[in-house]
Structure 1
Amino acid sequence: MNEIKDFLLQLSLIAVPMFSYHLFFKGHLKNKNHDLLVKSAFWGFSILLCMSFPLDVGGEYRLDIRIIPLLLGTLYCGWKTGIFLSFIVILYRLYSGLDLGFLNTFLTLLVAIPVILYFQKSFELAKRNKRVKIAIFLSFYYCLVGVFWLCILRGFASMNIQIQTIHFLFVLFSTWLFTTLNENIREIYQLRLEIEDAEKSRLISELTSVFAHEIRNPMQVTRGFLQLLKEPGSWDKKKDYIQISIEELDRANDVINDLLSFGKPSTSDHKKVEVCTEVRRVINIIKAYSMHQNVIIEANLSDNCWIDANPQKLKQCMINILKNAIESMPEGGTVWITCRKTEDGFVEIKIKDEGIGMTKEQVDSLGSPYYSLKESGTGLGMMVSFQIIQSLKGKVRVHSEKGIGTEFSILLPGT
């Protein structure tokens, strides 16, 4: 029973570093050399752990599965890592004592490593199933070489053969297990990258169709009125045509500005900003528009609500959300704005209206570039607002009920 526990410990000493790399470093290291260095370090760490906690058999034999990290590290990382890992094995074994065990390890590596390095390129270019077969074959060869040198150095005792056979079978099983696991993880990671690329392509396609439609409409209207200017008619009517054309061009320009704001959100030029002061400025900016819509803005703002932000982007975010709140009340109403500092150090901005409200499905769709409850909307204004808040490491919570109203709660980290 103790032998089984020791073998399971050996498995865990390989599994933990391997999964730690995939969990914390895979895909996060953009530099290939740094990624290779980290992978080599983890495989080397596995070798040291396996050799530090071997399985003792009868006090004379010390068995471990160092071949697994040595083999997989060489096959997946290349010949440089293979040489590096081989030196780790030799130096650590030499540190443990210059005996027959060290000689056996040295001679086994001397014969086996060149063969492993020879197959490394074939392994790198092979498909998944062939990779597993190559790894199993090489571990079989390594163990065979180890048994051969053991029998040469210690003699052909039945005890030697029995112990090495058990070790041999366990190594083959472990090689199959970890190679298969590693290939599965690699496939899942590659599949995730493909899904992300497909999602980016889908979003670009949707954005393209939205902007093509939104920009084409005002351009066609402008072109039509410019053609009418060529026709005979009164100057007053032509002035109306020019004014409508200018308004349509302004609308196209707004759509383009939204696209640029979404594509390149400003994360620089941050400075200490007093949020309530900026909210008051936003209210002054939009006050005329709210009065025209028969909407009253009620504000309850605290002082000393400081954050690190770009004030222009913060105002743009507030204007987008406040404008949506005003437009959600076609018959007029009241918008309430509060700003305060929470006990956990955040600055909370709440914007509440008594407009048409939204369903849960509509709330979940907020921020999509092609989703808007307004007939002439693209959804970009809300999308840009969400991105600005995200760039400030903030959070947005939306609570809405159909026919009752909507409340936006924005939490921004204070300073």
Structure 2
Amino acid sequence: MLPKRFLTFQYYKKTALLYCIVSIMVCFLFSYRLNDSVVMDLRMVPFMIGALYLRQGPLLALLIIVFRSFYGIDSGFYFILGFYSFISIITWFISPWFLNLLSIKRILFSTSFTLLFSIINLTIMVVTIPPFRILDIFIALIIVAPIGVAMLSFIIEMIEKNQLLYQQLLKTEKLEAVEQMGAAISHEIRNPLTSAIGFAQLLNEESLESRKRLQYLSIIKGELEAAEQVIKDYLTFSKPQIDTLEKLNVNNELFHILKLMEPLANSYSIKISCKFSSIGYIEGDRQNFHQCFINIIRNVIESLPNGGDILIETEVNKKNIIIYIKDSGLGMSKINIERLGEPHYVTNGKKGTGLGTMVAYSIVRAMKGTIDVKSEVGIGTTYRFSFKRMI
């Protein structure tokens, strides 16, 4: 059983094995002969990596033996046959133990293991190689091969470490998103439920007038509906339901939305102006379309506590219908723009929990549209919505 920290390299086992095979082939292509029976190259490096990290020693040893046979069936061939067969058997048994070592120990062991068999190889070859070529053999076996294995082992371990950190980061971000979502929903639901519970307790008073009783029941109903709306928003974000596809006149729908938002804009001393282009149609769900732009426009209005201007503009081209929502507010930094649509992130001060923006983003994706936000601090923000145009 492989340790979890080393599963990334094993996940790409076939690709890594292919690299080892190709590397061995390249080593043979750029080999050089010391005499009629001795061929020198760097085959030991990819062999050790593949044998220890991939447990493919027998396969790579067979490949080396086959390639060596192309140079002739001589004493050198029989030496390679016995030498690599012996190493492949050893690495086959020790590879599972090797993979359970700590990273630094794997680097040290693979380097030392290569050095050990290089020394054995050198000792055997000294008997058959003329003395004037001993320096070449020493450098190739004792210096180059162990250093090559050490470098590749270090690279593999660094890649594995980076992959592990990346997976941990993703897990942390997912947990943080769940925590933020839970905090947002519990905060939004707790407020109306607390009010509803308070008025429900007041209903227990026997001396309560019927007029006030009806008033309290109306308040409780309103608060429970508010809590229900939060749940609906969350469900819409999780999986927006596009129940019916309709042909929507974008200008008419936006005009209707602006009429609904006019009282809120007036309360914030905000002037909303329109600049609609020629009529264009998209395919979508009317209710979701309204909810999307009501959420966005409400957030824009609430982010302008001191008043200001909002411009709603449409643009029609051959393929798409573009909707712009521009404000004259304080603007946002790049970091703030990147966080738009995250749970519990708001642009309108302490109000809200970010669910509205999340829902809007989710609806646009469900309608196969795109959102692009551009903003400059102190100048304002522009939302750009793009939907496929119906011809």
1:379 equivalenced with 2:379 (yes/no): no
- Aligned partner of 2:260 in structure 1 is 288
- Aligned partner of 2:203 in structure 1 is 229
After the TM superposition, which residues 96-135 of structure 1 pair with which residues of structure 2 at under 5 Å, given as runs?
Answer: 97-135=72-110
Alpha-carbon distance in structure 1 between the residues aligned to 2:264 and 2:216? 24
- Aligned partner of 2:173 in structure 1 is 199
After the TM superposition, which residues 341-352 of structure 1 pair with which residues of structure 2 at under 5 Å, given as runs?
Answer: 341=317, 347-352=321-326
Deviation at 1:127, TM superposition (A): 0.8
Higher RCO (Cα < 8 Å, 6 or more apart)? 2
1:394 equivalenced with 2:360 (yes/no): no
Larger deviation: 178-187 or 139-148?
139-148
CA gap of 1:71–1:305, structure 2 versus 1, over 3 A, is: farther
| Partner of residue 344 from structure 2, selected from 363, 370, 381 | 370
TM-score normalised according to structure 2 size: 0.79
Deviation at 1:37, TM superposition (A): 2.3
Secondary structure class of the residue paired with 1:407: strand
> Per-residue displacement from partner, 1:161-203 (whole Å, max 9, x unpaired)?
3222111110011111111121122112212222222232233
- Aligned partner of 2:17 in structure 1 is 40
Q: Is the Cα contact below 8 Å between 1:326 and 1:335 reproduced in 2? A: no
> Per-residue displacement from partner, 1:119-153 (whole Å, max 9, x unpaired)?
2122111112211121012212332343355456x
Q: Which amino acid aligns with 2:145?
A: V
- Aligned partner of 1:11 in structure 2 is none
Alpha-carbon distance in structure 1 between the residues aligned to 2:113 and 2:35? 28
Larger deviation: 220-229 or 379-388?
379-388
Q: Is the Cα contact below 8 Å between 2:370 and 2:385 reproduced in 1? A: yes
Deviation at 1:346, TM superposition (A): 6.0
- Aligned partner of 1:177 in structure 2 is 151
TM-score normalised according to structure 1 size: 0.75
Q: Is the Cα contact below 8 Å between 1:265 and 1:387 reproduced in 2? A: yes
Structure 2, unaligned runs of 5 or more: 1-6
Secondary structure class of the residue paired with 1:230: coil
- Aligned partner of 1:6 in structure 2 is none
- Aligned partner of 2:314 in structure 1 is 338
After the TM superposition, which residues 12-411 of structure 1 pair with which residues of structure 2 at under 5 Å, given as runs?
Answer: 35-54=12-31, 62-78=39-55, 81-95=56-70, 97-148=72-123, 150-151=125-126, 155-168=128-141, 169-231=143-205, 232-264=207-239, 277-278=249-250, 280-285=252-257, 287-291=259-263, 293-294=265-266, 296=272, 298-302=274-278, 316-328=291-303, 334-341=310-317, 347-354=321-328, 356-360=329-333, 363=337, 365-372=339-346, 373=348, 375-387=350-362, 389=364, 392=368, 394-400=370-376, 402=378, 405-411=380-386
- Aligned partner of 1:13 in structure 2 is none
Q: Is the Cα contact below 8 Å between 2:332 and 2:377 reproduced in 1? A: yes
Alpha-carbon distance in structure 2 between the residues aligned to 1:301 and 1:351? 14
Alpha-carbon distance in structure 2 between the residues aligned to 1:125 and 1:150? 34
Deviation at 1:222, TM superposition (A): 0.5
Alpha-carbon distance in structure 1 between the residues aligned to 2:254 and 2:323? 13
Structure 1, unaligned runs of 5 or more: 1-25
CA gap of 1:302–1:82, structure 2 versus 1, over 3 A, is: farther
Deviation at 1:57, TM superposition (A): 6.1
Alpha-carbon distance in structure 2 between the residues aligned to 1:51 and 1:371? 59
Q: Which amino acid aligns with 1:188?
A: N
Q: Is the Cα contact below 8 Å between 1:400 and 1:407 reproduced in 2? A: no
CA gap of 1:385–1:85, structure 2 versus 1, over 3 A, is: farther
> Per-residue displacement from partner, 1:336-384 (whole Å, max 9, x unpaired)?
2313338xx6653211234x44343755553332222154411122133
Alpha-carbon distance in structure 1 between the residues aligned to 2:118 and 2:387? 60
Secondary structure class of the residue paired with 1:371: coil
Q: Which amino acid aligns with 1:185?
A: I
What is the percent sequence identity of the aligned residues? 24
CA gap of 1:145–1:370, structure 2 versus 1, over 3 A, is: same
Alpha-carbon distance in structure 2 between the residues aligned to 1:108 and 1:183? 28
CA gap of 1:288–1:317, structure 2 versus 1, over 3 A, is: closer
Secondary structure class of the residue paired with 1:352: strand
Alpha-carbon distance in structure 2 between the residues aligned to 1:384 and 1:400? 24
Q: Is the Cα contact below 8 Å between 1:207 and 1:370 reproduced in 2? A: yes
Alpha-carbon distance in structure 2 between the residues aligned to 1:351 and 1:305? 18
Alpha-carbon distance in structure 1 between the residues aligned to 2:170 and 2:189? 28
> Per-residue displacement from partner, 1:320-343 (whole Å, max 9, x unpaired)?
22332344566685542313338x
Alpha-carbon distance in structure 2 between the residues aligned to 1:235 and 1:405? 51
Q: Which amino acid aligns with 1:258?
A: D
CA gap of 1:202–1:374, structure 2 versus 1, over 3 A, is: same
Alpha-carbon distance in structure 2 between the residues aligned to 1:129 and 1:296? 64
Q: Is the Cα contact below 8 Å between 1:370 and 1:380 reproduced in 2? A: yes
> Per-residue displacement from partner, 1:200-224 (whole Å, max 9, x unpaired)?
2233223322322221111110111
CA gap of 1:180–1:219, structure 2 versus 1, over 3 A, is: same
> Per-residue displacement from partner, 1:29-77 (whole Å, max 9, x unpaired)?
9xx7x63323322322222223223356689864322222221122222
